[in-house]
Amino acid sequence: MKIIGSKELETRDFGDSLQFVLTRNLGWAEIAIEVILLGSILFFVWRQNSVILMGFAGIGIIGIVINWIQGRETVLLVNERGIVARGNLDSWFRKELTLSSGEITSMGWSAGGEGDSGGVYVRRGYLQSWVLPGASEEHGRTVISAIEDRFPDFPVAERVASLLFGNDSGITTLALSKQDNKD
């Protein structure tokens, strides 16, 4: 086991589909931080005898246990019909996500932020779901380029949907700008 954790991406080709397996390997530093943080919170709660703080500590412990139960692996299976993501999807209750390609408006990578872990996502209209949470930018580029090369009709490119017309909208030009007529 290393001091700092790492993530490994494995790509498998099954003929009519591609499978991506993202494995998170924890390091000693990450495990130590979790144990020290939980121990500190539990000690503080014990010293303060606060029911509210006990509730927060309990929720934190439940979250860490759920993350451990879900495992270190996320599997993404992509074919022309859609995607299936299984494993640790960075959600407390969801371990599997299945979407047809008609439901997907775009697919991409995000660095995360504001409580999100980042990684590879699929977008359904305005809803975003993580399919390979925690994937690095390099892993995201590898996954998206492999999908684009293998399935050119798969909705990877970002499409802007309108509130009124949904996914059927597009960029409308009104031709109001002046053009130079050089005859």
Q: Residue 63 falls within a domain, yes or no? A: no
Q: Residue 165 falls within a domain, yes or no? A: no
Q: Residue 34 falls within a domain, yes or no? A: no
Q: Is 155 left (phi over 0), alpha (psi -120 to 50) or beta?
A: beta
Q: What is the pLDDT of residues 7-49, one digit of tens each?
A: 889 999 998 999 999 988 877 887 788 788 878 877 888 888 8
Q: What is the pLDDT of residues 46-96, one digit of tens each?
A: 888 878 877 887 887 787 777 777 778 899 999 999 999 998 887 777 888
Q: Residue 182 falls within a domain, yes or no? A: no
The three-state secondary structure class of 98 is strand
Domain membership of residue 101 as a residue range: 6-26+72-150
| Mean pLDDT of all residues belonging to the chain | 80
Q: Residue 61 falls within a domain, yes or no? A: no
**Alpha-carbon gap, residue 41 to 49, rounded angstroms:** 12
Q: Residue 118 falls within a domain, yes or no? A: yes
Question: Quick one: pLDDT at residue 179?
Answer: 65
Q: Residue 31 falls within a domain, yes or no? A: no
Domain count, the chain: 1
**Alpha-carbon gap, residue 156 to 122, rounded angstroms:** 8
What is this structure's pTM? 0.69
The CATH number assigned to the domain holding 141 equals: 2.30.29
Q: Are 135 and 107 in contact (CB under 8 A)?
A: no
